[in-house]
Structure 1
């Protein structure tokens, strides 16, 4: 009996030691060791397609990020700047390419940050959930939220290229749509003129009793300020097939709807009803596109109509 007890105790201690070792090693790898490509020399954004690498945060050099760019020849200071947020594939260059013709036609300076992560299939907290919390659930400082990277990038190009624009537009599809709507909820002070969240897989509902990322518990959401911002919830009428792309099927996600189209509509209506109950201003729009499914290229074309209503 004693021998069995000691073996069991030894096995438990060994398991706990291994788990602790993996936890510490994982934390160090994810949050202590430097991450990202080599920083590039600061220079003017070239006409056409280009890219540069900058430090993601202003408080530490621990993480760098690549920013893909496209600049039409006729673009000049105070012409429109648009951030393009990629989906879960972290394929920023593909998303940039989908917008090149749109940028040429409407004279838009495009910035497409690449939130690269080797473990993107297993963790979403660093990108579409805003990096509010580590993989282990501990809070990150606001200066290291993913949303702060967008503001930092805007400051970077303003400072290094003598750009005087005071605002920027932002579009995201799928995981990028998650990123955009959460940025609007959690950082309404960001200098966004209009945000377009397209075909998000699931949403952070305006419920402060529901755990983030499904709700807003333990976050710094400022709903009244967020409703004053211009947000377009852009949906594809045919984005009703859960088999397309990566689709979250947890119990909390499924309560939002059976597919992306239903979830987007439910999210928009929940916020509209809440703002009405408080008699708050509500500056959001719902736009459902006929005959389009989970297609970032076609959704980008519709998004352009919101950015440039005259086109």
Structure 2
């Protein structure tokens, strides 16, 4: 019997050692080694489709990010700037293309960051959950939140192009919609004018008893301040098929609703109920687009009205 326990002890020790080494290797690869495309030289944004690469964080060269842009010929300083946040496919160029005609028609400078990740099929914490926490559950500094990257890109654009714009608008669809509503909730000090979260797969509810990303436990959320931002929850009337795209089916996600349309309504109602309870100002809205499902192109066409019809 003693021999058995000795063998068992060795097996446990070896297994633990291997897991520890794998964890260290994974952490080093994900959070220590430099990643991303090669940095480009600073230059003004060209008319038409363009792109540039900058460091994602202001005080670190550990991560770079590619940013796609589209600038209409008639766009000028103080015309609207719109960030377009891609879905789970991380296909920023496709999302940019969906906004080209809209940009020309409405004089919009489109900025589409590409949150590239080789493991995007297996992890969501780095993008749509804001990079508040590492894959291992430890907290990241606010300077490395994905939301902060958007603010850094805005600063870069203003500086290099000598722009005087004081705010930008932001649209996100699916995973991008998750990104947008969480950015409003968790970083209300951002310079967002109008935020549009379209067809999100699931939401962060204003519930301090639920762990993030399902609730706001262990975050420093200032909902009273977040409610003063202009956020539109944009839903497709036909986005009621959970088989489309990546759809989270955990117990906590399913409690929000059986499909995206229902979950968006659940999220908005929960926040409206909280603001009523506290008698807070509330600048959020909800809109359902008729005869549209989980389609980022058609949702973009409807989102632009919320952007152009507001100062």
TM-score category, normalised to shorter length: over 0.9
- Alignment match, 2:62: 62
Is 1:261 the counterpart of 2:261? The answer is yes
Rounded Cα–Cα distance in structure 2 between residues aligned with 1:194 and 1:222: 18
Deviations 1:158-216 (A, max 9, x none): 11110000000000000000000000000000000000000000000000111000000
- How many residue pairs match? The answer is 310
Q: TM-score, normalized by length of structure 1?
A: 0.99
**Residue 228 of structure 1: SS of its match in structure 2?**
coil
Rounded Cα–Cα distance in structure 2 between residues aligned with 1:140 and 1:235: 31
Please give the residue correspondences for 1:21-40 in structure 2 after superposition, counting only pairs within 5 Å. Answer: 21-40=21-40
- Alignment match, 2:244: 244
- Alignment match, 2:146: 146
- Alignment match, 1:190: 190
Rounded Cα–Cα distance in structure 1 between residues aligned with 2:282 and 2:157: 31
Please give the residue correspondences for 1:1-311 in structure 2 after superposition, counting only pairs within 5 Å. Answer: 1-309=1-309
Shift of 1:6: 1.1
**Residue 99 of structure 2: SS of its match in structure 1?**
helix
Rounded Cα–Cα distance in structure 2 between residues aligned with 1:281 and 1:259: 29
Shift of 1:75: 0.5
Structure 2: any 5+ residue segments left out of the alignment? none
* Cα-Cα RMSD: 0.7
Rounded Cα–Cα distance in structure 1 between residues aligned with 2:131 and 2:48: 31
Shift of 1:59: 1.2
Rounded Cα–Cα distance in structure 1 between residues aligned with 2:309 and 2:5: 74
Rounded Cα–Cα distance in structure 2 between residues aligned with 1:259 and 1:190: 30
**Residue 248 of structure 2: SS of its match in structure 1?**
coil
Rounded Cα–Cα distance in structure 2 between residues aligned with 1:297 and 1:39: 30
Shift of 1:309: 2.3
Structure 1: any 5+ residue segments left out of the alignment? none
Rounded Cα–Cα distance in structure 2 between residues aligned with 1:176 and 1:196: 10
**Residue 205 of structure 2: SS of its match in structure 1?**
coil
Deviations 1:24-52 (A, max 9, x none): 00000000000100000100100000000
Superposition misfits of 4+ residues, deviation over 4 angstroms: none
Deviations 1:38-92 (A, max 9, x none): 0001001000000000000001010000000000011110000000000000000
Shift of 1:7: 1.1
Rounded Cα–Cα distance in structure 2 between residues aligned with 1:242 and 1:7: 48
Rounded Cα–Cα distance in structure 1 between residues aligned with 2:76 and 2:207: 42
Rounded Cα–Cα distance in structure 1 between residues aligned with 2:96 and 2:7: 58
Rounded Cα–Cα distance in structure 2 between residues aligned with 1:23 and 1:256: 33
